[in-house]
Amino acid sequence: HPPPVATDKEEQKRLLENRPDQPRNAKVLRIAIIGAPNAGKSTLSNQLLGRKVFPVSRKVHTTRCKARGVITHEDTQLIILDTPGLTNPLKAKRHNLDEAMLTDPWDSMKHADLVLVLVDVSDHWTRNSLSKEVLKCLSQFPHIPSVLVLNKVDMLKKKFLLLEIATDLTEGIVNGKKLEVKSALKEDSNSSAKSPLHITGASPPESKVPGSPLGQEKNQAQEGSGLDKSSDVGGAGTGEAQGPKHHGPEDDKDIKGWPHFQEIFMLAALRGEEVDTLKRYLLMQAKPGPWEFHSDVLTSQSPQEICDNIIREKILEYLPLEVPYGVTQVMEMWEEGECGELLIMQSLLVPRESHKRMLIGRGGKVISRIAREASQDLMNTFLCDVRLKLRVEVK
C-alpha cells in the first residue's frame, strides 16, 4: 500500500529533505503527463499513486501548479510530474490563471525521461487531433520518448472508432512501423462490449511486454494485447520510420498527430481499468540512477497544499461557470485534536454577495456537501480522521 501523506507540515518537510534510502540497484524514471485541460491527467496520476494527492474536476484548470507524485516499487522509483493542462495566454487570462500555468508544463518536459500524452477519446470535438500546444511541446523535445494514452475508452460506445483515433493521433506510425488495417472490424457499431482494439489488454504474466504497441506484428499483438481474433488489425513493418526531427512552427499547420510515439495505451483512468498495465510498462522503462525521494514520500506537496487543492476541486465541481475561479481560500486553523484527529478551518472569500449565496446553497446544502466530500478525500490521503469547517465571506 502507498504511504499516507504526513499531516504535519514540518514532518512532511523533514521527509522531503531526508536522504533517499537508496537500494543497491536503484532505478528511476521521471514522467511528464501532458495533454489538453481536463483530459484526465490528475485522475491518472492519482490512480498510479494509489492515493488521491492531486485535485480532479470536470472543469478545466483544476491543477494550478506542477506537483510531483512518487511511486516507489522495490528498487524502482517513478516520479510523476503532474502538470497543468497545456493552454494559451488568451485562455489563461479568461480563467484568471497565473503565469506559471503557461510555463510549468514546459519546465516539466525539460526534466522528463518519458512523456505520456493523454487524450480524452470521449470528446468527439478534439479526439482526432492533438492540440497545437501538445504538438508544439512534443516538437520542442523530440529526443524525449513519448507514449500515447487514450483515456476514457469506457465512455466510447463505438469501439471501432479507437483505431481511427489512434491512426489520426499517430499519423499512422507507431514505434517506427506503419499501421495498416487489413480487414474491416467485424463488430456491431453500437456495441459497448470490450473492444477488439484493446491494445494494452493484460499480457500473460510471463510476457516481457506489458503493453504491446499498436504497430507490432499481427500475431504478436494478438497474443499479448487482447486483440480479438476476429479483427485482423496489425502493423505491417514497412521499413523504419525516420527518427524525430525538430519541427518548425510552419510544419505544424496540417499536422494532426505525432508519428514518433513508442506505444499506445488505452484505459479508463477514473475506473482504474488498465492503469496497472501502464504502471508495469513505466516500471520497466526505468533506468539505473539514484532515487530523488525517500521511499516514504508520496508527493512533494505540503499537507496544506493538498487540502487547499481538494477543497478547491469541490468548489469547482459545485459552482457554475466561472464563479469558482474567483474564490480565495484562507487557512484559519490546522491542528491535531485530542484523539489524533486533524482539525481544519478554512475561510472562502468571494467577490459578491450573490456568489456567497451560491456557495452556501439553500439551507447550507452546497457548503455542507463540499466540506463532507473534501473531509472524506483528506481522510483517505492522510489516513486519519479529519474534521473540516468552511466559512464563506464576501471579500
pLDDT in tens, 15-40: 999 999 999 999 999 999 988 877 88
The distance of Cα 372 from the centroid of its chain, to the nearest Å, equals 25
The length of the chain in residues reads: 395
Q: How far is residue 225's CA from residue 342's CA, in Å, rounded to a whole number? A: 46
pLDDT given for residue 178 in this prediction = 85
- Which three cell numbers, joined as nine digits, stand for 73? 516499487
Bridge partners of 70? 79
Q: How far is residue 92's CA from residue 86's CA, in Å, rounded to a whole number? A: 10
* Residue 48 near residue 2 (C-beta atoms within 8 A): no
* CA-to-CA separations, 309 to 42, 313, 362, in angstroms, rounded: 12, 6, 25
Mean pLDDT for the stretch of residues 319-348: 91
Domain ranges of the chain: 9-181+255-288, 303-394
* Residue 75 near residue 29 (C-beta atoms within 8 A): no
pLDDT given for residue 65 in this prediction = 56
pLDDT in tens, 312-333: 999 988 988 778 888 999 999 9
Q: How far is residue 247's CA from residue 142's CA, in Å, rounded to a whole number? A: 9
Q: Could you tell me the pLDDT band of residue 230, with boundaries at 50, 70 and 90?
A: very low
Q: How far is residue 13's CA from residue 192's CA, in Å, rounded to a whole number? A: 47
- Which three cell numbers, joined as nine digits, stand for 328? 480565495
Q: Per CATH, which fold does 9-181+255-288 belong to?
A: Rossmann fold (3.40.50)
Q: How far is residue 358's CA from residue 88's CA, in Å, rounded to a whole number? A: 30
- Which three cell numbers, joined as nine digits, stand for 264? 499506445
Q: Could you tell me the pLDDT band of residue 359, with boundaries at 50, 70 and 90?
A: very high
* CA-to-CA separations, 33 to 40, 117, 136, 267, in angstroms, rounded: 10, 6, 15, 15
Residue with cell 504478436: 220
Question: What is the overall mean pLDDT for the chain?
Answer: 79
* pLDDT > 70: percent of the chain: 72
Burial (0-12, 13-18, 19+ Cβ within 10 Å), 183: exposed
Give the neighbor-by-neighbor strand order of the sheet with 386-394: 328-336, 342-350, 386-394
pLDDT given for residue 85 in this prediction = 53
Q: If DSSP codes are grouped into helix, strand and coil, which group holds residue 394? A: strand
* CA-to-CA separations, 49 to 27, 87, 107, 288, in angstroms, rounded: 17, 25, 22, 21
Cα dihedral 63/65/66/69 (nearest 10): -60
pLDDT given for residue 315 in this prediction = 92
Q: How far is residue 391's CA from residue 214's CA, in Å, rounded to a whole number? A: 52
Q: Could you tell me the pLDDT band of residue 84, with boundaries at 50, 70 and 90?
A: low
**Class of CATH domain 303-394:** alpha beta
Q: Is residue 205 predicted with pLDDT exceeding 60?
A: no
The distance of Cα 278 from the centroid of its chain, to the nearest Å, equals 12
Q: Is residue 231 predicted with pLDDT exceeding 90?
A: no
User: How many CB atoms are located within 10 Å of the residue 253 CB?
Assistant: 7
* CA-to-CA separations, 332 to 117, 202, 234, in angstroms, rounded: 39, 48, 59
